[in-house]
Amino acid sequence: MFFGTYKNYQAAAYFYQRCINISRQQDDFHWESLSTVGIGQCYYKLERPNEAINCFEIALKTVEDNHMESDVVNISEKLVDIYIDMAMEQEALGTRKDLEKALQNYQKCFEVSKKANQQEKEAQACLKLGDINFKLENFEESAHYQTKYLEMCKTLVRYFQPFLMTSSSTKKTRTRKMR
């Protein structure tokens, strides 16, 4: 927090690295992974997204190897957001090479969003995988991901149906009371 206030992310990364070293001496995987995430966040703020992704992937592997499920979800959520940001930037550039990079990041997003239990982002990544494969003329892959996206949407609609029903009935009740 202190480093964020003063935007001294380089110094923060240095101190996070020291925390990692101490955590490793103590075999404290929780603090090691938190510190690695901290460095990743610093790199992301310093506009070094590839290094940020590397840190998050290392932290994710550490918590997975040590069966720290709540940390797996938290780190995965952050990693998904970075993958999406990177892929969107690459997709916007539109060259074949950039679309291929975007495809790789959406694929990683798709895989990691499962670990984070982020069904909406998993579906979003699936849709983008279909779109980009279509642009790259990989029509079979495109159809595969588009079909998978539609299947996921059916599941999501069933999941959100009770919430949608409740909110629409609440809205009707409010409308009647206002008259």
- In single-letter form, the type of residue at position 139 comes to F
pLDDT tens digits along 52-65: 999 999 999 999 99
Phi, psi at 95, each rounded to 5°: -75, 160
- pTM comes to 0.79
The answer as to whether 178 is a domain residue is: no
pLDDT tens digits along 5-21: 667 898 889 999 999 99
Same domain membership, residue 73 and residue 146: yes
Count of domains for the chain: 2
Range of the structural domain that residue 144 is part of: 69-161
Average pLDDT over all residues of the chain = 87
Same domain membership, residue 75 and residue 44: no
Tell me the H-state helices in 26-95: 29-45, 49-65, 69-93
Same domain membership, residue 78 and residue 151: yes
Pair 26, 32: CB distance under 8 Å: no
The answer as to whether 175 is a domain residue is: no
Give 171's pLDDT tier (boundaries 50, 70, 90).
very low
The answer as to whether 171 is a domain residue is: no
